[in-house]
Amino acid sequence: MAQERSQETSVAEPPPGSVADLFREALPGVQMSAEQTALDVAITVRREDLIRVMQTAKEDERLAFDFMRSLSGVDHLDELEVVYHLYSYSLGHAVAIKVRCPPDDAHMPTISHLWQTANWHEREAAELFGFVFDGHPDLRPLLTEEGLGYYIMRKTHPLAEIEEWQEDYLKAAEEAVAQAAAEAGVPMDERARKIELAQKKAVVIKKAREEARGRGLAGDEERAAVKAALKALEEEEAAKAEPKPAEAPAKPADDRAAKIALAQKKAALIKKTRDEARARGASQEEERQAVAEALKALAAEEKSG
Amino acid sequence: MATEYSVTPGKDLETIDINVNVGPQHPATHGVFRMVLTVDGEQVVDVDPIIGYMHRGAEKLSENCDYRQAIGYQDRTDYLAQFNTELCYVQAVEKLAGIEPPERAEYIRVILAELNRIASHYMFMGAFGTDIGVFGTAFMYTFRDREIIQDLFEEITGERMMYAYFRAGGVAWDVPEDFRERCREVLSAVRKGIGDIDGLMTDNEVIIARCRGVSPVTPEDAINWGLTGPMLRATGLEHDVRRAEPYCIYDRFEFDIPTGIQGDVYDRYLVRLEEMRQSVRIVEQALEGMPEGPIMAEGLKRTLRLPEGEVYMRNETPRGEYGIYLISKGGDKPYRLKIRSPAFSNLSALRAMSIGSYVADTIVTLGSIDIVLCEVDR
């Protein structure tokens, strides 16, 4: 039997005595290749043989597939595929029949005259993948009454494209955000800086993760690597941001900041004096006196300065 | 002055069929579903069911998620049997990845899936009663009892509806310590509830008058139309995926497969009622056999990467055969994920079942399919 798709390496041969042998017995001379999937045997046939194969599958006593349980379209990019899952109530066995066709010639013979349930399944596949089931009695779109005009389940169709009407909304939303920020007094360059930082972080995380995976790390180790990369980025950013506060003193410091600075100075002085007093071996009373004197000196210095 | 109607003599009068639009917002359509009936008087000549109002592209969305994230979309297909759909999906992933979930997880899954089946059938009983015109009789009782099961699910998963509790390899976390006792409480309430429904509905004159002999289906037609689940069993065919192609650990439990005789609406109701009793039996056995131990397979990576391969996993959900056709081409996302929705196939037979019946019976037939539009449209 000719192996049509021998270029695929991972095809597992079905065990002897499987349903694939029954098909070969019932359909001598028909080109087919069989593989064992996780549960069922899958048989790939040529498009021109499909009707004959399906008719035999339903009517041959050895096969007796009376139930078409599922019909799925699959987009393999270079080819489109229809997969029919069949089941036999009388014999209790199952099979998958696969047929391929080029995407620009997606014609398939209908099987809805063999199994009526295929009617809606074919309509759905036609609508979502762009198949044309020749001979189908009523191939109107099923899920969208008027049809979409494009085939959403094809791999070439993006999950969500930003459409023209959405662009206007996005622009308007962005402007609204900018306006609100301006009104609230948040400088826009601050916001832009934050966005830039977030973007940088995302790049670093992705890179670190890929590197970690490349080295064969997983789980906690991977997470640790990402964390380290993020820390490095933060340090780098902090170093860059350092010169900025140097400009700050040019502005008149407000009252509150000055008070805080003074309090911090006081605290440092108290600690220093206390430590010195203790190092001298002074008593508690002497220590308190020393601290009070130091504070007085500081107050005088602040006044004059 | 009275209006005078006159017929021009000699001109032939013709009778035309009238189109009647039902839905998309209509109490009998169980969500957003529309059908255009062509009627000749009271007789239905043609039905054109129009679906897709809930089409969200769940398959496409799942293909852009990793294997764990896609579990969430399963809850949102059949939102009355979330555990059943989740179970089908995670088993498909397990089959491809070669993961064996631990025993305890399997038992928890079976218990929850069967309780979910009961809850879903409760919903059917209530909504169906409303379709027929016995609102207060069944609706209030079934919703009272469904809430008891719903409470248990909330205790376990933290969610009332969108559980996302099953994982490839096990379940997300262990059940509470009092799980067994709570299940037994729920079961005793369910047993009483089933008895209540049985007493209220089975011999109810209105229900018999509206359901007996309405849209009978032969087994041959049912198979040809792709009917599964209670719709199929009502025709007399003894088929259940749990028995025919056992998955999970269903081969360990004893349960009967109820079947009907005529395949009419009344038989579908009876089959569902008996299925609830059988689910109670399964849960009882599972509670007996549930071992202690781990709830997650060991050595799983945080992000699951599947080898190349494909699987068509099928489960018996309350509505019939739910299938997940999963293709992996390596990586952490499904290459293709097709959902075989039982309600979709069952609904496609509505046209064939309704032609020739009365308009009022079409509503009853639609109700007996037990559609969930989120699952039909995906």
Distance CA A292, CA A117 (A): 97
Residues 6+ apart with CB under 8 A from B268: B230, B231, B234, B260, B368
**Cβ atoms B264, B368 nearer than 8 A:** no
Local confidence pLDDT in tens for the 305 residues of chain A: 333 443 444 568 888 778 888 888 888 888 888 888 888 889 999 888 899 899 988 888 888 898 999 999 998 888 889 999 999 998 888 999 999 988 888 888 999 889 999 999 998 998 888 888 888 888 888 887 676 777 888 877 777 655 666 677 777 777 777 777 677 665 556 666 777 777 788 788 888 888 887 777 767 777 788 888 888 888 887 777 665 444 444 445 567 777 778 888 888 888 888 888 888 888 888 888 888 888 888 888 877 76
Gap between the Cα atoms of B46 and A138, Å rounded:
14
Nearest CB among A10, A67, A142 relative to B51 is that of A142
Share of chain B above pLDDT 90, in %: 31
Q: Are A63 and A20 in contact, with CB atoms under 8 Å apart?
A: no
Instruction: Find the closest chain B residue to A220 by CA distance.
Output: B302
B6 domain residue, yes or no: no
Residue-wise pLDDT tens digits, B309-340: 899 999 999 999 999 999 998 888 888 999 99
Report d(CA A49, CA A41) in Å as an integer: 18
**Whether B338 and A119 lie within 8 Å, measured CB to CB:** no
| B9: closest CA of chain A, how far (Å) | 42
Q: Is the peptide bond before B24 cis (omega within 30 degrees of 0)?
A: yes
Judged by average pLDDT, the poorest of A258-262, B43-47, B190-194, B367-371 is A258-262
Nearest to A98 by CA among A47, A40, A150, A161: A47
CA dist., res. A176 & res. A173, Å (int):
5
Phi, psi of B18 (to 5 degrees): -110, 140
Distance CA B160, CA B116 (A): 12
pLDDT of residue B248: 86
Question: What is residue A248's predicted lDDT score, i.e. its pLDDT?
Answer: 46
Please check whether residue B147 lies inside any domain of the structure: yes
A45 by DSSP, 3-state: which? strand
User: Given this model, what pLDDT does residue B331 score?
Assistant: 81
- Pair B92, B311: CB distance under 8 Å: yes
Under an 8 A CB cutoff, do A69 and B323 touch?
A: yes
Report which listed range, A37-41, A119-123, B39-43, B200-204, is most confident.
Answer: A119-123
Q: Give the distance, in angstroms, between the CA of residue B130 and the centroid of all CA atoms in the same chain.
A: 18
Task: Report the CATH number at residue B330.
Answer: 1.10.645.10
Neighbours of A261 (CB within 10 A): 11
**8 Å CB contact of A142 and B52:** yes
Report in angstroms the alpha-carbon separations of B130 from A128, B124, B133, B134. 35, 10, 5, 6
DSSP state letters, A174-210: HHHHHHHHHHHT--HHHHHHHHHHHHHHHHHHHHHHH
d(CA B80, CA B96): 27
Give ∠ CA B131-B132-B133 in degrees, rounded to 5.
95
Range of the domain at B325: 62-339
Shortest distance between the Cα of A79 and any Cα of chain B, in A, equals 14
Q: Residue A95: helix, strand or coil by DSSP?
A: strand
Predicted pLDDT at B131:
79
Taking an 8 Å cut-off on Cβ atoms, the answer to whether B224 and A83 are in contact is no
Q: Is A3 exposed, middle or buried (0-12, 13-18, 19+ CB in 10 A)?
A: middle
SS3 A87: strand
From chain A, pick out residues whose CB is under 8 angstroms from the CB of B100. none
Smallest Cβ distance to A72: which of B239, B245, B338?
B338
- C-alpha to C-alpha distances, B170 to A243, B63, B97, nearest whole angstrom: 55, 22, 13
Q: What is the DSSP string of A233-293?
A: HHHHHHHHHTHHHHHGGGSPPPHHHHHHHHHHHHHHHHHHHHHHHHHHT--HHHHHHHHHH
Model pTM greater than 0.80?
A: no
| Separation of alpha carbons B108 and B95, rounded Å | 19
> Is B191 domain-assigned?
yes
- Return the CATH number of the domain spanning residue range A19-134: 3.30.460.80
Q: Look over chain B and give the mean of its residue pLDDT values, rounded to a whole number.
A: 87
Mutate to test the interface with B, among A40, A98, A142, A144 (most CBs of B within 10 A): A142
Per-domain residue ranges of chain A: 19-134, 186-249, 254-304
Spell out which residues of chain B touch residue A73, defining contact as CB-CB under 8 Å.
338
- Answer yes or no: is B351 within a domain: no
Which residue in chain A is spatially nearest to B340 when comparing CA positions? A70
Count of all residues that appear for chain A in the document: 305
Q: How far is CA B118 from CA A44, B111, B308, in A?
A: 40, 11, 37
Query: What is the ipTM metric for this complex?
Result: 0.86
Shortest alpha-carbon distance between residue B254 and chain A (Å): 20
User: Count of domains in chain B?
Assistant: 1
Chain A nearest CA to B313, separation (Å): 8
- Most A CBs within 10 A among B223, B332, B374, hence the mutation to make, goes to B223
Shortest distance, CA B376 to any CA of chain A (angstroms): 9
Confidence (pLDDT) at A190: 64
Q: What is the identity of the amino acid at B286?
A: A
Beta bridge partners of B321: B316
Chain segment B249-280, per-residue pLDDT in tens? 898 999 999 998 888 999 999 999 999 999 99
Return the pLDDT at A252.
Answer: 52
The sign of the CA dihedral A166, A167, A169, A170 is positive
State pLDDT tens for residues B105-148: 999 999 999 999 999 999 888 888 887 877 667 788 888 889 99
What residue type is B44 in one-letter code?
V
* Contact (CB<8Å) B327/A74: yes
